[in-house]
Chain A
């Protein structure tokens, strides 16, 4: 310790007063706290009073044994960091990640505004039809017989059964320019037309107090959506894109279109819908069952 010590407490930025409240800085001549000096070690514990460093760091001169104790005590406070190490253990990793995803989905549901609209765009912003990607998990065209197609309605509804496309199209049509966001990261603004899902749910007498809408598709794809999103005013049973009937690549004759959900939730080639309070563990959604977020909200 040299005499030309730069540790003048008044010199540093923000060093007008000792800023660390722990441990306290003792002034010269002030007796050490008897609680910190066990009798049997009173000679070797704190043998010098302290000053503060340039940033107000409390400074102590201690015995090597006391330094070890201080270090150990401080290391114990880092236990929360070690907890993160559980992710390195193979056995715990996937359950922890599932919990993380589950928590994020829960928070997403809490954040969702049931009347908050997703942004809509002018026709100028809509991407040309030939640049709206065809995305499918299996085949671009599962060969739906459009003449004979009906939508099967099941579950907690007053009027289950088979519904023709004309019955759906008889309901008020809504057309919207909205952003379609893929989980991969790309996005396109498209033009979509169809029936509000909430209108159709009214037509079939659905219990809108139920929690989920399950959908099954002609190509074997399947999805489930939270009822809040189904009832959102921009959630459509979509049968038109760019003013023309949905083509086979985009899910003819009927698909889901929800600007508040990611692309993989927007099931195409709808075959069956079911209003339910219970989701089967391995039937939450084609991608969700492989690890994607179930909520998938925007």
Chain B
């Protein structure tokens, strides 16, 4: 790559840093609003679930799991519903903002996990979790990242659609029908939540592994000395 080398010569220009604009503001705003709201939605959702922690009938009631109160937000069912019904707008709003941006700019091609990426997932996972060799990177996101990010979009859409059914099963009757009824939809809604719960620790570990500089680019957009420039 002769052109870059000819242009940027840090040895000659001692006072410069190379920065790459990785995340436009709209992505960063959507990311942080989404991050805050997904935590609130999970915490308040678990408190709501505590009121009837079962997917079976009310009579006889068999609790599925006990959720300790410390993992919940809202203090009681009514309080949790207030958080849930407030932050659902922020959650959906930031999600829509992100999706529209991706569609308009065409950047979705960088993030969307496609069947072509399947074969690249295992080598990447082996690298991260089993100290395997690092696969060559030739795209903005590696297959494991694409899988993770595409999954969160899927879980976001899924939790929104199932949430609409739980909130308004009579008004969104066609959606209720599509999901297999109100009763089953509680399970889908819970599974979507589990998807986020599975994603978040993995995401945080990756952020920690990649250090402050990488994290900082989700705040300012600019990454200092991007690793892909060698």
Q: Check if A233 is an interface residue, CB within 8 A of chain B.
A: no
From B16, B29, B51, B170, name the one whose CB has the most chain A CB atoms within 10 angstroms: B170
Residue contact A51 to B3, C-beta cutoff 8 Å:
yes
Q: Check if A146 is an interface residue, CB within 8 A of chain B.
A: no
Q: Check if B215 is an interface residue, CB within 8 A of chain A.
A: no
Produce 1/0 per residue, B166-196, CB < 8 A to A: 0011110100110000110010000000000
Produce 1/0 per residue, A229-247, CB < 8 A to B: 0000000000000000000
Nearest-CB distance from A178 to chain B (Å)? 9
User: Across the interface, which residues of A come within 8 angstroms of B59, CB to CB?
Assistant: 130-133
Q: Check if B10 is an interface residue, CB within 8 A of chain A.
A: yes
Nearest-CB distance from B43 to chain A (Å)? 12
Nearest-CB distance from B34 to chain A (Å)? 10
Produce 1/0 per residue, A173-184, CB < 8 A to B: 000000101111
User: Across the interface, which residues of A come within 8 angstroms of B15, CB to CB?
Assistant: 44, 47, 63-64
Produce 1/0 per residue, B23-40, CB < 8 A to A: 011001100110011000
| B125-133, B203-211, B220-228 - the one binding chain A | B220-228
Residue of B nearest to A85 (CB): B36
With A11-B138, A74-B221, A292-B78 as known contacts, state yes or no: A116 contacts B173, CB within 8 Å: yes
User: Across the interface, which residues of A come within 8 angstroms of B119, CB to CB?
Assistant: none
CA distance A80 to B177 in the complex (A): 37
CA distance A118 to B182 in the complex (A): 12
User: Across the interface, which residues of A come within 8 angstroms of B76, CB to CB?
Assistant: 291
- Residue from B16, B51, B230 in contact with A6 in the complex, judged by beta carbons closer than 8 Å: B230
- Residue from A98, A132, A293 in contact with B81 in the complex, judged by beta carbons closer than 8 Å: A293
Q: Check if B65 is an interface residue, CB within 8 A of chain A.
A: no
CA distance A259 to B29 in the complex (A): 40
CA distance A4 to B228 in the complex (A): 11
With A57-B20, A188-B57, A259-B170 as known contacts, state yes or no: A28 contacts B6, CB within 8 Å: yes
User: Across the interface, which residues of A come within 8 angstroms of B33, CB to CB?
Assistant: 80-81, 84
CA distance A28 to B168 in the complex (A): 57
Residue contact A12 to B138, C-beta cutoff 8 Å:
yes
Q: Check if A61 is an interface residue, CB within 8 A of chain B.
A: yes
From A1, A130, A287, A293, name the one whose CB has the most chain B CB atoms within 10 angstroms: A1
Nearest-CB distance from B94 to chain A (Å)? 9
Residue contact A112 to B228, C-beta cutoff 8 Å:
no
User: Across the interface, which residues of A come within 8 angstroms of B105, CB to CB?
Assistant: 19
Q: Give the number of chain B interface residues (Cβ < 8 Å).
A: 78
Residue contact A108 to B168, C-beta cutoff 8 Å:
yes
CA distance A117 to B170 in the complex (A): 7
User: Across the interface, which residues of B come within 8 angstroms of A77, CB to CB?
Assistant: 25, 28-29
40-57 of chain B: CB within 8 A of chain A: 48-49, 51-52, 54, 57
- Residue from A96, A103, A131 in contact with B57 in the complex, judged by beta carbons closer than 8 Å: A131
Q: Check if A290 is an interface residue, CB within 8 A of chain B.
A: yes
- Residue from B21, B49, B228 in contact with A23 in the complex, judged by beta carbons closer than 8 Å: B21
CA distance A113 to B173 in the complex (A): 11
Residue contact B169 to A127, C-beta cutoff 8 Å:
no
Nearest-CB distance from B198 to chain A (Å)? 22
User: Across the interface, which residues of B come within 8 angstroms of A132, CB to CB?
Assistant: 59
Enumerate chain B interface residues (CB-CB to A < 8 A).
Answer: 1-10, 13, 15-22, 24-25, 28-29, 32-33, 36-37, 48-49, 51-52, 54, 57-59, 61, 76-79, 81-83, 85-90, 105-107, 109-110, 137-141, 168-171, 173, 176-177, 182-183, 186, 219-222, 224, 226, 228-230
With A7-B228, A181-B182, A287-B78 given, name 12 new contacts (CB 8 A).
Answer: A1-B5, A19-B107, A47-B16, A51-B4, A62-B17, A67-B222, A67-B224, A70-B19, A78-B25, A186-B57, A186-B61, A293-B85
Enumerate chain A interface residues (CB-CB to B < 8 A).
Answer: 1-8, 11-14, 19-20, 22-23, 28, 44, 47-51, 53-55, 57-64, 67, 70-71, 74-75, 77-78, 80-81, 84, 96-101, 103-104, 108, 111-113, 116-119, 127, 130-133, 179, 181-188, 259-260, 287, 290-293, 297-298
A-B contact pairs, 24 of them (CB 8 A): A7-B228, A8-B1, A13-B140, A19-B106, A23-B21, A53-B229, A54-B139, A54-B140, A55-B141, A59-B229, A60-B20, A61-B10, A67-B224, A74-B220, A103-B86, A104-B86, A119-B173, A130-B59, A131-B59, A133-B58, A182-B52, A185-B49, A291-B76, A298-B171
**Top 10 closest A-B pairs, CB basis?**
A100-B86, A55-B140, A291-B78, A77-B25, A184-B51, A185-B52, A118-B170, A2-B230, A186-B58, A5-B1
